[in-house]
Amino acid sequence: MNKILYFERCGDHTEEVLAFSKKFAEENGVNDIVVASTTGKTGLRASEIFKGYNLVIVTHCAGFREPGRLELKDEYRHTIEGNGGKILVATHALSGVERAFRKKFDTIGPVEIIANAFRCFGEGTKVCIEIALMAADAGLVPVDRDVICIAGTSSGADTSLLIRPSYSMNFFDLKVKKVLCKPANF
């Protein structure tokens, strides 16, 4: 399967992205799947579709929107884990401490410049690259084989990439190998 699924607009295309990605995984022997999910809704659906895979659901760190609060809903977490998925709660690889500099001094550093450059390809592309780094750093996906990363713009999934991940400290070893799905207009 060498075709790319383009969406007219960014937004929630979760069912199509997950189905397309699953077909690609089956046809190409990809067993590692990383999915961005803030509340867990997209992660829950992924955990139903990718049962038996090494599925990692990446969510926001605590306090991302509100101090002391995780956005991942407990009922989604329990079902995802019950379906064999792993949950990763971590600081964003492409912002982290640099976000504090932006907020305090109204400036950005090189990591956020890189993140903004990836956004030229769509928010989902940036997030896919970021979650590949985060999952690798946590030891939840290998860095010696390809993984499928799924993310979106705002709500739901609209992007899927085949990525050879790397650890953050080896950032430039990460390779985006194929675009599976993405919005054409964002």
Torsions phi, psi for 12 (to 5 deg): -80, 100
| The model's pTM | 0.92
* 25 contacts 51 by C-beta, under 8 angstroms: no
C-alpha–C-alpha distance, residues 136 and 158, integer Å: 22
Per-run averaged pLDDT (10 residues), the chain, 186 residues = 87 95 97 95 97 95 73 91 96 81 86 89 95 97 98 93 97 97 88
Write down the residue that tokens 């884990």 correspond to: 81
Parse the chain into domains and list their residue ranges: 5-183
CATH superfamily of 5-183: Pyruvate kinase, C-terminal domain (3.40.1380.20)
